Each structure stands twice: as C-alpha cells, then as structure tokens.
Amino acid sequence: MTTPSSSPPSSSPPPSEIRAAIGATERTADDSIARARAAQPVWGALSVDERVRILERLPTILLENLDRAADAITAENGKPRAEAIAHELVPAIALTRHHLDVAVEILGPSRIASPTAPYRTAMRTHRPYGVIVAIAPWNLPFLIPFSQVLPALIAGNAVILKPSELTPGVAALLVDLIAACGLGDGVLQLATGDGALGAELIDARPDKVVFTGSVATGRKVMAAAARFPIPVGLELGGVDAAIVLDDADLEFTTSAVAWGATFNGGQACCSIERVLVHTDLHDAFLARLQDKLRRIDTRRDLAPAIDARQEAIWHRHLEAARECGLEVSGGAALRERRCAPALISGDAVTDAEVWSEETFGPVVAVARFDSDEDAVALHNDTRYGLTASIFSADTTRARALAQRLDAGAVSINDVAATMYSTPELPWGGVGLSGFGRSHGPDALLDAVWVQVIDSPRGPAFGPKRPWWYPYGPELEDAMRTLGTAIAAPRPISRLRGYGRAGYQLLSMLSRQPTL
C-alpha cells in the first residue's frame, strides 16, 4: 500500500527551479501514458477510504505553502496576490476538504432493489476510468487544474496534467504539493508543452480527457478523442450575463457587476460580459457603474492581459463597438498589457461582436429590457450557457426567473463567479460552454464509470427462468399482467399485480419442457 510521504514540501524548489527541472525530465506522451498505466492498478486497488487517508494531509500542506503558491501565481500569471489567495488557494483548500469529507459516501457501493426481480439483489459500484489526461488553462493556473486533478485521484485514477505553456511553473508546484502526500510513482505526472503535446497525449489513448479552455480548442479535443472514442469533459467559454430587475439595489448591484466584469482582468469564463438592465433603472445604473469602473485601481487590483494576443482581442472588440456607433467609456490601453475597464452601451449593443463573442477582458456591455420575458429571451439568445446572475429584492421572483435561463449556474444577488469558490456546488455549463461538472459530488462521479453487479438473493442456482426458451402464449399473458402491474398508479395495485404475475410465471415452470 502506498503511504504518505513523511517530509513536507516546504523545502522543495521554487517554481523557477521546478520549470528548469521539467525540461530535463520530459517524457514522450506515450511514455507518460505507459507510466500512468503501470501505476494506476496499485492506486486504483486501494479503497476510497485508503486514498482519502493518504490525501488527508493535503489541506495542511496547501495552507503551509499558501504564500509560496501565491507568489508563484502572481509571478507567472500576473494577477494581484489577493486574487491568487482568495480566488485560487483558499478555494483549493476548501475543495480538498469537501472532497475528502464526502468521497466515501459518494463513491461507495449502494444497493439497488427492484420490485420486478425480488429474487435478485444488485449493487451499484464506481470504477475509476484508469488514466485521465487533464488539460488546463492559464487564467486560474492553480485552482482549475487542481479541481481537475484532485477528484480524479480520489476516485482511483492516475492523472497526467498538461497545463498551459504560459503557466507551467504553477502547475509544477501544484503537482509537487499533491505528490508530497505520497501517491506513488507515476500516479500524478506533469506534462509541459503547447497544444501539440495535448494532441499527442490524446493520440496516446488515455481513458478520459478533461479540458478547460476555449471553444475552438475544445472542439479539437473532442474530435481527437472521438476517433477512439475516449470520453471527454469540457468546460469552455462563456459570455455570461447579469440581469438587473426593476427592484434591484443600485449601489449593491453596480459594485457586484464592477467586480464581476473585471476581476482577474476579466480573464475568466464566468466573468460578467453582458448586463441586462430593466428600462426603469438603465440610465442610473449605467452612470453609477461607469463611475465605479473608473475608480478601479488598475495597477493594484487589475490583472494584466496574459499576453499580447489576449490584449489584442480586447481592443479589437472595443474598436468594433466604436465602429458600430456604440458608446464606449474607458478602454484605454495602459502600460504592462493593462486596459482601463470599458463600458459599452447603446441601442444596437446586442448586435455587436462584444455581445455575442467572449472578450475575456475587463469589458462589459449593457442593454436594456422591459419585462421578465424580454430578459429571459435576451439572455438565452446566445450559444453559451455557463453562468448568470440575477439582482432583485424579490428572491422568489428571481428564483423563478433563474429556472428559465439556459445557464449551468445561476446566482441571485451575487456574482455567479463566486460559486466557483464554493466546493459543494457543481460547476459547468450547457451549449458552447461545454458539459460535465467540476466541484461538488458531480466532480467525483465524473471521474468514474458505473458498474452494476447483480446476484441471486437465495441459492446460487434455482429453477430456470420462465422467459427462457421455449416461448408460448403463457409468457405473453404473464408479461401482460406484469406490465399492467408496473403501470398501475396506486402502490397497492402494483403490489397485487406483481403477485399475480409472479404466480403466472412460476406456474409456467412446471408446464414447460426443459431446454
């Protein structure tokens, strides 16, 4: 049995040294998959409880390395240190505690009873896929890969993490911290490189691929995996919206939207990119939001674009909005790949590229609506469906509205992005935003396949089944009785019907010849 390491990771090298070591120990995709396949049977043979005990030290390890990890994230990704701690590292600790607390209950076996087969008993079990390749993005370089890797490991899989080539050092530190629990050689591996390496890993035929990133790359991942086929989980983009109803508190709501549209420099799939405001509040909302966006400290609180390509998308969307005659407030290019938060409005805003395509920057567009029905139609007129936020003094009205939105997660009187830090809540979208879930019990269940084991309640062998050969009119009559019983609306009627069908089936055994 694999046992936890006795030495903490506090003495392990900093990310820069880890990155240097990566190049010296690179393996081919085939080698990584082979190594994972050799390691997984031992790890997967442990009970869920045993794997939980091995990983039990992980929350403490993460806490002890909080500052070190925050420095690594800020150095490599550029986001404010406060965001690294609040948006990634503390949520990672919370996610670990949640998964460790519920894993045995969620992944443990359960009995299944069937009234149509009372002489049998069945057990539902969960089996790890085997080798999972996790392909992660750069925008939350610690928390997103962590949320991909941890449930897969707890479920008994071996995992190969392929982070963005822009943030390999953070991923190396992540692997280092988890490995300090003592997983065993090859159970968790790091594979660094660009998209070509991701393609090679899929070609090496793992048992599942989980991917977080752009829609364009997600399509390539899905197409590559479909050739074998390999199951995939995808969390892709979003053009997420906030809906501001006519009874919303303007001060509270504009503060929420100002943060939700710009945290991490707007580089989050759950950033608020569209705001739907009731006509009665539209002008006042616009003025107050504009003022709050102007007052954001762009040096202290706003993350820069990860690279020049991302920054170019921001300014392309802003320029296209200006060319459409829309009003653009802010958006000036700043030093060090920063952009002043931008607010776009105007009667034709819903026709602009910024309304329908993901900007992934500190840019937010505002449109007005007249009724709840208009808000639902305007919100759902998109190919994406990751998150949404609704602001209203009437939470009953807001909950009813939420159930009509095509979004995987809806938050009322908060920014839906906050939900990603809540480990108990399943996270994922619909449409072009992908499928599959991370966080909550669904994350653990997405890392396994279901096996049902059916066995007799009584003696190992009994009489042959009456629906085996030979067929005859008696079988049709008995099945018709059974179908009538199953369809009966009242439990007592069903119970009586099962009894009659059982009697008919048993009677057939004495009259049928042996075959």
Helix (H) or strand (E) holding 243: strand 240-244
Average the pLDDT over each of 21-35, 42-56, 157-171 and give the range with the smallest value: 21-35
Q: What is the pLDDT of residue 509?
A: 79
Please write the tens of the pLDDT for every residue from 397-438: 999 999 999 999 999 999 999 999 999 999 999 999 999 999
**Are the C-beta atoms of 112 and 122 separated by less than 8 Å?**
yes
Q: What is the pLDDT of residue 147?
A: 97
Active site (annotated) includes residue 270: no
pTM over cut 0.85: yes
Q: How far apart are CA 271 and CA 257, in angstroms?
A: 9
Please write the tens of the pLDDT for every residue from 170-196: 999 999 999 999 999 999 999 999 999
Q: What is the pLDDT of residue 513?
A: 61
For residues 55 and 10, the model is more confident at: 55
Please write the tens of the pLDDT for every residue from 114-149: 888 888 899 999 999 999 999 999 999 999 999 999
Amino acid at 258: A
Catalytic residue among 200, 235, 311, 357: 235
Share of the chain above pLDDT 90, in %: 85
Amino acid at 486: I
Mean pLDDT of 6-19: 42
pLDDT surpassing 80 at residue 505 = yes
Q: How far apart are CA 124 and CA 107, in angstroms?
A: 10
Average the pLDDT over each of 8-22, 70-84, 232-246, 465-479 and give the range with the smallest value: 8-22
DSSP 325-343: T-EEEE--B-STT-B--EE
Please write the tens of the pLDDT for every residue from 310-364: 999 999 999 999 999 999 999 898 988 999 999 999 999 999 999 999 999 999 9
Amino acid at 283: D
Q: What is the pLDDT of residue 21?
A: 44
The encoded tokens of residue 121 equal 């008993």
**Are the C-beta atoms of 393 and 249 separated by less than 8 Å?**
yes
Q: What is the pLDDT of residue 1?
A: 29
Q: What is the pLDDT of residue 148?
A: 97
Q: What is the pLDDT of residue 26?
A: 58
Active site (annotated) includes residue 269: yes
Mean pLDDT of the chain: 92
Catalytic residue among 269, 270, 273, 357: 269
Q: Beta strand pairing status for 120-128 and 110-112?
A: antiparallel
Kindly report the number of other CB atoms within 10 A of residue 313's CB atom.
16
Q: What is the pLDDT of residue 15?
A: 45
- CA neighbor of 131 nearest in space, from 168, 176, 100, 161: 161
**Are the C-beta atoms of 106 and 448 separated by less than 8 Å?**
no
Inter-axis angle of helices 143-154 and 90-107, nearest 10: 20
Q: What is the pLDDT of residue 325?
A: 94
**Are the C-beta atoms of 175 and 160 separated by less than 8 Å?**
no
pLDDT surpassing 70 at residue 5 = no
Mean pLDDT of 225-245: 96
Mean pLDDT of 187-207: 96
